[in-house]
Amino acid sequence: MAKKTYKVGRSARTGRFTTVKKAQTKKSTHVVETIKRK
C-alpha cells in the first residue's frame, strides 16, 4: 500500500524544488513540504 503523503524540498527564495536532504541541511533558505497524493 502506497503512502498518502510525500515530502519534497523547496527553495524559499526561488520556489524551485530540491532534494529533501538539501532542504533539511540548509534550513535558512529551504523548506520541506508535505504533499498529499491525489
Instruction: Return the CA Rg of the chain.
Output: 11
Residue 23 contacts residue 32 (beta carbons within 8 Å): yes
Residue spans of the domains in the chain: they are 5-36
Q: Is the dihedral of CA 32, 20, 27, 29 positive or negative?
A: negative
Which are the contacts of 30, defined by CB distance < 8 A and separation ≥ 6? Answer: 9, 10, 11, 12, 18, 22, 23, 24
For residues 15-29, average pLDDT? 95
In angstroms, rounded to a whole number, what is the distance separating the alpha carbons of residues 3 and 19? 18
Strand, helix or coil for residue 37: coil
Whole-model pTM: value is: 0.72
- Residue 1 binned pLDDT confidence (cut-offs 50, 70, 90): confident
pLDDT digits 0-9 by tens, 5-18:
999 999 999 999 99
- Residue 2 binned pLDDT confidence (cut-offs 50, 70, 90): confident
